[in-house]
Structure 1
Amino acid sequence: MFIISLTYKTSLENVEHFIREHNDFLEKYYSSGHLITSGRKEPRTGGIILADAHSKEEIQDIIKEDPFYSNDIADYEITEFIPSKYNEHFKSFIKNS
């Protein structure tokens, strides 16, 4: 699993200009099963995406399709983690290694 932390590097007005395309990007990867949850940071300085992929390289390739990436709206920090404890309601997201 991966935590993707986006930090805006432009005005919120510019962010809003690309929000529809960003949401379309998110929907594509929710449909493919790569994304688990996403949302904005509070205060609104960026966003967080929880994703499932085989590798960090796969996540990097996915990010390249985000309009926030291609239009230089946000910086991305990717953190890989291996869940060791989880709420049973989320068991379907956990892969045993």
Structure 2
Amino acid sequence: MFVVSLNYKVPLTEIDRLQAAHVEWLKACYADGIFVASGPKKPRTGGIIIAQCPREVLDARLAADPFAMANAADYEVIEFLARMTTAGLDTFREA
């Protein structure tokens, strides 16, 4: 499983211009079963994505994010093993 931390590199006006395309990209990643959760940071300096897929799939998807294509955000990818989960997230637990 991966935690992806996005950090905006451009003013929020540029992020807002790209937001609709970014949301459509997110929806496609959810539909394909790649993303588990996502949302903006507070304060709004970037976002967080939780993903479960092979690393090469994640890297390809992140490269297709409209924020990445516009060089509007940097991405930090952290891999971890979800050894414990709350009830309802048992399917994400890893051995």
Structure-1-length-normalised TM-score: 0.93
Q: How far apart in 2 are the matches of 1:43 and 1:88?
A: 29
**Fraction of identical pairs, as percent:** 35
| 1:89 CA displacement | 1.3
| 1:59 CA displacement | 1.1
Q: How far apart in 1 are the matches of 2:34 and 2:57?
A: 10
Residues 41-73 of structure 1 show CA distances to partners (whole Å, capped at 9, x for unaligned) of 00100000000112x222111101100000011
Instruction: Say whether 1:8 aligns with 2:8.
Output: yes
Root mean square deviation, CA, Å: 0.9
Structure-2-length-normalised TM-score: 0.95
* Structure 1 segments unaligned to the other structure (5+ residues): none
Q: Which runs of 4+ in 1 moved over 4 A?
A: none
In the alignment, residue 85 of structure 1 is paired with which amino acid? M
| 1:88 CA displacement | 1.9
Q: Is the 8 A contact 2:85 2:92 kept in 1?
A: no
Q: How far apart in 1 are the matches of 2:77 and 2:9?
A: 17
- Residue 60 of structure 1 corresponds to 59
- Residue 80 of structure 1 corresponds to 79
* Structure 2 segments unaligned to the other structure (5+ residues): none
- 3-state SS, counterpart of residue 18 of structure 1: helix
Q: How far apart in 2 are the matches of 1:89 and 1:60?
A: 27
- Residue 51 of structure 1 corresponds to 51
